[in-house]
Amino acid sequence: MGKKWAILKSVFYSRMNEEAVGLEIRNQPFRITPEDSVAYARACEDTNPAYKAEDGALVHPLFASRILKDGLEEILLSPRVEANMIKLVHAEQSFQWHKPLRVGMELVPVSRISAIRDVSSGQVLDIDVALEEAGKAIVSGRSSMFVRCPPKKGAKRTKEPYPFEPEMEALSTFTVLRDQPGRYAAASGDYNPIHTNALVAKLAGFERPIAHGLCVMAMTARELIAAYGEGDPASLKKIALRFSKPVYPGKDLTVKSIRGGKIQFVVELKPGKRAISNGQAEFGR
């Protein structure tokens, strides 16, 4: 009940506390077990044979989010931050892999608030994240959370820019299953009730519980790895995207992409309505 109670208490917060910038959480080392690795891949409907239940086997790249979860939750629920969890959504996410994740690795998760900034209809909390092995970053990235809230008195708000995106072609289609949120919550440890509780989801402004953005991201990465990485998860070096619209379980999603210097991609709920926008990915050996 501890985390759930903390989330419910946070509905009384309005604006985040900008003095929390610089707050850093360094968690205990996390060892990737075969069971955790396979469970995560299954929750994302990823049957890639590279994800084997044995030491040294490759792990789904987005399992990084599972390892980072506790540190991010500590920041979001910290009374120093004063984030209203009911009005919070995952806005953007990026990861860079300096080495591929493998079963048996023991990694130290680090999360640090780099900025709290005003945008057109609320605030954005930027959190720099890393997974370290022997003091060196194996994975680095940024998690950006948007919170709807009233403006600060006298503050000027800015709109987030939307970069130009070229015409893209359909790559593949996948379905977020109706039981996906429950299975992903168990595999990822992310039990935010907006994904599993109808009342909390409605309080947050949604019709019903929504899919985890990171689950949709992991499923999208699966499609990109198959198309651009020859099915090799270790070939994915960078990915970044913006979560544009919530995804309700039971919906079909279409990945569209184009390959230039970088791979650009979006994920559509239907033509012109994007669940994910501004996507970029890089592959290499």
For residue 166, what pLDDT is reported? 80
The per-residue pLDDT string of the chain (285 residues; one tens digit each, 9 = 90 and over) reads 456 555 555 555 579 999 999 999 999 999 999 999 999 999 999 999 999 999 999 999 999 999 999 999 999 999 999 999 888 899 999 999 999 999 999 999 999 999 999 998 899 999 999 999 999 999 999 999 999 888 776 666 566 665 667 889 999 999 999 999 999 999 999 999 999 999 999 988 899 999 999 999 999 999 999 999 999 999 999 999 999 999 999 999 999 999 987 899 999 999 989 999 999 999 998
Cβ-based neighbours of 189, under 8 Å, separated by 6 or more? 66, 69, 70
For residue 2, what pLDDT is reported? 59
Amino acid (1-letter code) at residue 278: N
Domain of 44: which CATH number?
3.10.129.10
For residue 149, what pLDDT is reported? 85
Q: How far is 63 from 214, CA to CA, in rounded Å?
A: 10
Q: How far is 114 from 127, CA to CA, in rounded Å?
A: 6
3-state secondary structure the chain: CHHHHHHHHHHHCCCCCHHHCCCEEECCCEECCHHHHHHHHHHCCCCCCCCCCCCCCECCCCHHHHHHHHHHHHHHCCCCCCCCHHHEEEEEEEEEECCCCECCCEEEEEEEEEEEEEECCEEEEEEEEEEEECCEEEEEEEEEEEEECCCCCCCCCECCCCCCCCCCEEEEEEECCCCHHHHHHHHHCCCCHHHCCHHHHHHCCCCCCCCCHHHHHHHHHHHHHHHHCCCCHHHEEEEEEEECCCCCCCCEEEEEEEECCCEEEEEEEECCEEEEEEEEEEECC
- Residues 262 and 232 sit within 8 Å (Cβ to Cβ): no
For residue 260, what pLDDT is reported? 82
What is the separation, in whole angstroms, between the first and last Cα of the chain? 45
pTM higher than 0.85, yes or no? yes
Closest CA to 256 of 285, 281, 235: 281
Residue range(s) defining the domain that contains residue 190 = 2-283
List Cα–Cα distances, 230 to 158, 202, 236, 278, 284, in angstroms. Answer: 40, 41, 10, 23, 11
Domain count across the chain: 1
